[in-house]
A = this chain, B = another copy of it.
């Protein structure tokens, strides 16, 4: 429902006060120009598509109809996301039969993200009548989800959206036969192993693999981003783990890496085996031997990433997940043991039993709050030692090559300064060791994630050792709500949204009242000790426009987002700066009015 009011530019200027109010919620307001007249569209629905909005914005500025500031404010960052994802090649589509049309559950078509999980080559689309919480592990391993039942708030839709995976739900024409492993749409039958393509943006399912088009930034978009760059105060960094992703992040405008997850480097096929050997090692010596091999690989990764990001900070997070995450799942191992027993395969059986025993030893009741992050670093110091040495050597060797590499070491899951100090001791000794062997001084910042509630509450103590903070708002949200994300999204979050107990998924948009207030406590305590402390955010929220507004207000130094959200983050950061400015102006006007009233009163 939109009410269109044709107005001229001068009329528009007269309604300035009203506009000012709208500017605080830019999605409330859109303009369009037709035959020299402005149309103000009082609507929440997107009337123009993203490309059009960007183009008209730039054109209106060129025609001096609006200022650069207004051009930036009239854009909806979320809407622009579609410009930054791979899309299906509409030319190529013509050669592929559409199988079925369902409800588009996720407006994203980012296969890459999902593919990472199945790096050993198998891309899987999970096909079910409907999904249940027990299917969630399969979501992680799939590149997309397709169901024959359910709507936009169905389990599959909610979970897939949370994971950013393409998902098509409610394809009622599709008949699935689990026994013979096939599904049928009209006369067409698709068997397991055949390739299908999902278009999450409009709910289409195609037979065969359809070429996708890499996103590219239009010139107008680049112009908008340049303007936004000049206006924003927040720094923008990227969450990336590979040199390729780092390159992409730079093209999109990232000035540094806010989160480089070292464990992702172990998931590649050639490395996972080594990592498992490390976990299975019977003695420290054996473990150290394997770690030595891993160090060579990690160092070369670090060097490449640091090189791509030359002159910009690269924050490298030491190992975070619990070790058992790298072993096969226990249930799977038990079934394997039972089957091997039936087959009398004694050698493999013995080996599987060994892995099972180790997996049981490492198993945890609540892995999210268990033996991970700095806790692993403290109990298996040789792992962090290897990583810290790899970083120091990489930084040092690049410096020798006159490359301005700016590594930062970030410790995850810290809850007390004593934990951080324990790692700091290791870091200091390795650093000075590398320095003396290379004959040079290294400048590597040492800091911590703030993702444990206790670290926020004791940020003044933590800041004694930490040279920078970076909020891990994903884990922080889990801890503040006592929600395990996968369980919450799988079990009750959709019902919470339906019943309006939550208006937004706190894992997508930062919970300002709860998580935000804890962050403010941490910021105040940290800056109390180090007024110029660098404080960033590297959770998924770093790419969410509303959360970015909060980060700006809270006085953060930067936000770090995944590559494809960098331009959105730049735009949102500029909007936050503009809104703050207009907010200040309004407050000043109010104060002036009040003081005038006072004078009047006094004169009386």
Contacts and interface: CB of A to CB of B under 8 A. Distances in A.
Contacts of A518: 453, 457
A502 B418 contact: yes
A313 B561 CA distance: 51
Contacts of A599: none
Nearest to A137: B365
Contacts of A452: 480-482
Interface in A352-375: 360-371, 375
Interface in A304-346: 330-331, 334-335, 338
A133 interface: yes
Interface string A425-464: 0000000000000000000000000011110011001000
A371 B136 CA distance: 15
Given A369-B478, A418-B501, A481-B415, A378 B453 contact: no
B517 A457 contact: yes
Contacts of A360: 134
B453 A484 contact: no
A89 interface: no
A480 B134 CA distance: 28
Interface stretch (A110-118, A222-230, A231-239, A492-500): A492-500
Nearest to A370: B487
A379 B498 CA distance: 11
B480 A457 contact: yes
A79 interface: no
A366 B133 contact: no
Contacts of A331: 330-331, 334
A355 to B, nearest CB: 14
A93 to B, nearest CB: 38
Contacts of A334: 331, 334-335
A491 interface: yes
A364 B422 contact: no
B132 A361 contact: yes
A504 to B, nearest CB: 12
A276 to B, nearest CB: 19
B487 A454 contact: no
A69 interface: no
Interface residues of A, number: 63
Interface string A140-171: 00000000000000000000000000000000
A370 B368 CA distance: 11
Interface string A243-254: 000000000000
A508 B486 CA distance: 30
A132 B335 CA distance: 23
A429 to B, nearest CB: 16
Contact of A501 (B134, B136, B378): B378
B480 A422 contact: no
A452 B506 CA distance: 15
A454 B475 CA distance: 13
A40 interface: no
A28 interface: no
B361 A133 contact: yes
A479 interface: yes
Residue among A379, A475, A500 having the largest count of chain B Cβ atoms under 10 Å: A379
Contacts of A496: 378
A500 B418 contact: yes
B371 A369 contact: no
A555 interface: no
Contact of A366 (B134, B366, B422, B514): B366
A377 to B, nearest CB: 11
Contacts of A338: 338
A514 B454 contact: yes
A277 interface: no
Contacts of A461: 513
Contacts of A9: none
A361 B487 CA distance: 11
A487 B373 CA distance: 14
A318 to B, nearest CB: 16
A45 B410 CA distance: 43
A451 B482 CA distance: 9
A365 B331 CA distance: 13
A206 to B, nearest CB: 32
11 contacts: A136-B365, A368-B484, A370-B487, A370-B491, A379-B491, A415-B483, A453-B518, A454-B482, A458-B513, A461-B513, A479-B479
Return the 5 tightest CB-CB contacts between A and B, nearest first: A366-B484, A370-B487, A369-B484, A454-B514, A371-B491
Given A369-B484, A454-B480, A458-B514, 5 more contacts: A366-B484, A366-B486, A366-B487, A415-B482, A418-B500
